[in-house]
Amino acid sequence: MARETATRNLSMFNNNKMKLGIFATNCSSGITATTVPERWEASWENNVKIARMADDAGIECMIPVARWRGYGGETDFEGESFETITWATGLLAATRKITVFGTVHAPLVHPLFAAKQLATADHVGQGRMGLNIVCGWNFDEFDMFGEAPLDHDERYVYGQEWWDVVRKVWTEPDAFDYHGKHIQLENVVGAPKPYGGELPAVMNAGGSDVGRAFGASNCDFLFTSLRDEEKTPEEIVANKKMAADVGKDIQVFTNSLIVCRPTRKEAEEYYDYACRQNRDAEAVERLLSIRGIEVDKIPAGYVEMMRDRFVGHGLYPLVGDPDDVAGQFQHLLDLGFDGTRISWVDFIPEFEFFAAEVLPRMERLGLREPA
Ligand SMILES: Cc1cc2nc3c(=O)[nH]c(=O)nc-3n(C[C@H](O)[C@H](O)[C@H](O)COP(=O)(O)O)c2cc1C
């Protein structure tokens, strides 16, 4: 959906019906818990290269994963990860049009520090910084910070106060006090404001009712996992209505892992090779257990399906030849999504093929305009 009045993060409010965000290049192995040797190497050089390729191809945004430790296994899946705001600042300096998000753990980063750091990055990118607010997911990361996580719903109460403070720092011309349930601040000022004075694009990926309500009332973009195709269209409508009820216009994105090859057979074989035969089994089991999936208590067929999904960290796989994959994006649009995050096993060569073969097909289907 285009926003006629957008003055910043212009890529996020363009006319493309199916928007695309490249996800997780800041982490070793990206988003795929696989042991194949070509799995993603999250070097700075590789990050700049993929960001520039994406920028040239008209991709809307880059989105990092905020991680403080890996998921273990043979590869220590995501064990190396660039801190996301400094990562975004570097990429904003190296690109021209693309929006780059920073992902901030609200309970672990003081809102005044985050507000200033994000505003600084936004000036580097001249209005292209975006903010992904995460309220906390992995408790072993809280332990590292010496913080006890609040109860699930209370984490969003904290997140609301955190975002209220950041927003006030970015908009209040005068000093202010803040007295919330969790956050108490006196005589707060903050300058510079974000570039051009408007608020950066904000996203959230809460999956629970309270998480989605937080996203709908505070964010421009809500990311939801595609679980049940039958229920998805009405959930998207409900999320948009929740936002409209508080005067907000949100776009709903989902999350995809792409394996695209010249033929469907090649794509399916590679998917089987990278994501099944060579998955980092220990890391995948750990992901399942962190997410509370007890493999010995649910049907074996369902467990295998969950293992398939968690190799890609829960991302929905789009597998096939270029026509198949373009058609799968059409399907996501038909379900009601405005966009999706996209990842590959090895981002650079696979994105090259995607840009050459899939993007033109998406243009022919009317899903995207030429860059
Ligand atoms: C695709 C996706 C990406 C996410 N990225 C991060 C992240 O980078 N760091 C993090 O701690 N949590 C991340 N989350 C977790 C969400 O912020 C949220 O905590 C999770 O979806 C659970 O939702 P809930 O808190 O509403 O139960 C992500 C979630 C999804 C679905």
Give the span between the Cα atoms of 254 and 263, in whole angstroms: 25
Query: pTM of the entire structure?
Result: 0.96
Burial class (CB in 10 A: 0-12, 13-18, 19+), 52: middle
Phi, psi of 19 (to 5 degrees): -85, 155
User: Could you say which of 3.30.450.70, 3.40.50.300, 3.20.20.30, 3.30.565.10 is the CATH number of the domain covering 10-269+315-364?
Assistant: 3.20.20.30
Closest-CA residue to 88 (of 25, 10, 163): 25
DSSP state of 272: I
CA of 206 to the centre of ligand 1 (A): 6
Please tell me the predicted confidence (pLDDT) of residue 349.
Answer: 98
SS3 118: helix
Closest residue CA from atom 19 of ligand 1: 137
Please tell me the predicted confidence (pLDDT) of residue 113.
Answer: 98
Q: Which atom of ligand 1 is nearest to the CA of 66?
A: 8
What confidence tens digit (pLDDT) does each residue in 87-127 have?
999 999 999 999 999 999 999 999 999 999 999 999 999 99
Ligand 1 in reach of 26 Cβ (< 6 A): no
Ligand 1 in reach of 31 Cβ (< 6 A): no
- Helical spans, DSSP H, in the chain: 44-56, 84-94, 111-124, 139-144, 152-171, 209-218, 232-245, 264-271, 281-290, 300-311, 322-335, 347-364
Ligand 1 in reach of 214 Cβ (< 6 A): no
Ligand 1 in reach of 278 Cβ (< 6 A): no
Ligand 1 in reach of 225 Cβ (< 6 A): yes
Amino acid letter at 130? G
CA 90 to chain centre: 18
Please tell me the predicted confidence (pLDDT) of residue 214.
Answer: 95
The count of other CB atoms within 10 Å of the CB of residue 185 is 17
Please tell me the predicted confidence (pLDDT) of residue 328.
Answer: 97
Ligand 1 in reach of 137 Cβ (< 6 A): yes
Ligand 1 in reach of 150 Cβ (< 6 A): no
Residue ranges of the chain whose pLDDT lies below 70: 1-5
CA of 136 to the centre of ligand 1 (A): 7
Q: Which atom of ligand 1 is nearest to the CA of 138?
A: 11
